[in-house]
Structure 1
Amino acid sequence: MSRRRGLMSQQFKDELAKELGFYDTVQAEGWGGITARQAGSMVKRAVEIAQHSLVNQQEQ
């Protein structure tokens, strides 16, 4: 089975984890160490950023 390619870059995921306050867990335990709630918060924030970016592009 092939592995799916992630939609978010590693750098973006790291930045989100720092912003949301659980980057220390990621460093210590890897991405498998975060909770489902933290992962959900990360996805929610990524969607917010994407939506904001789209609105800014449409206004230009």
Structure 2
Amino acid sequence: MSDEFKYELAKDLGFYDTVKNGGWGEIRARDAGNMVKRAIEIAEQQMAQNQNNR
């Protein structure tokens, strides 16, 4: 996962300020889990779109 994508997810999930001020080590485990969950959802959507475009 690229850093740019991680920052985008942090913004979308509402904890970007925490990352900006304290780094990734300052986020809660729940936030990290939500970030991974959202990344998986996005990947699944992209895979489904790619299959539909065939």
TM-score by length of 1: 0.88
Alpha-carbon separation, structure 2, partners of 1:30 and 1:58? 37
Alpha-carbon separation, structure 1, partners of 2:20 and 2:12? 14
- 1:1-60 matches, within 5 Å, as 8-60=1-53
Paired AA for residue 23 in structure 1: Y
Alpha-carbon separation, structure 2, partners of 1:33 and 1:26? 7
More helix by share: 2
Identical pairs, percent: 60
The structure 1 segments of at least 4 consecutive aligned residues displaced by more than 3 Å after TM superposition are none
Per-residue Cα deviation, 1:14-60 (whole angstroms, up to 9, x for no partner)? 00000000000000100000000000000000000000000000000
How large is the Cα RMSD of the aligned pairs?
A: 0.2
